[in-house]
Structure 1
Amino acid sequence: MFDAVKYRDRNVVERGFNAFKQWRGVATRYDKHNANYCGGVLVRAIVLWLKRLRDTP
């Protein structure tokens, strides 16, 4: 059965992951060390957050 609320929530999560995967370092995971990869994810999250803040009135 189709649940519109669940679909909307799933779509938000998928768009979030796709935004992270636009950055090559996160999408391909070239980093050999876990700390470097986690740092890259954190930097990408900060960049996306700052872009979102800039777009708000």
Structure 2
Amino acid sequence: MTMLVLIHKECGGLALEESPVGEVCAIPVDRFPFPCFTCLEEIIDESELRLTQDLGI
């Protein structure tokens, strides 16, 4: 199963908690700012995020 993972560029950790479905969908712009799941710093906009794929291998 392929999972999309949002990474916080500042700390390199997960920006969002993994969803039970195993996928992270597009985040609506009105959800910003939100705290990084890993370091708890505020993520202001999508420029602070990077999207990766976890192939689950």
Shorter-chain TM-score bucket reads under 0.3
Greater strand proportion: 2
Q: TM-score with structure 2 length normalisation?
A: 0.24
RCO higher in 1 or 2 (8 Å CA, sep ≥ 6)? 2
The structure whose residues are more often helix, as a share, is 1
Q: Give the TM-score of the pair, scaled to structure 1.
A: 0.24
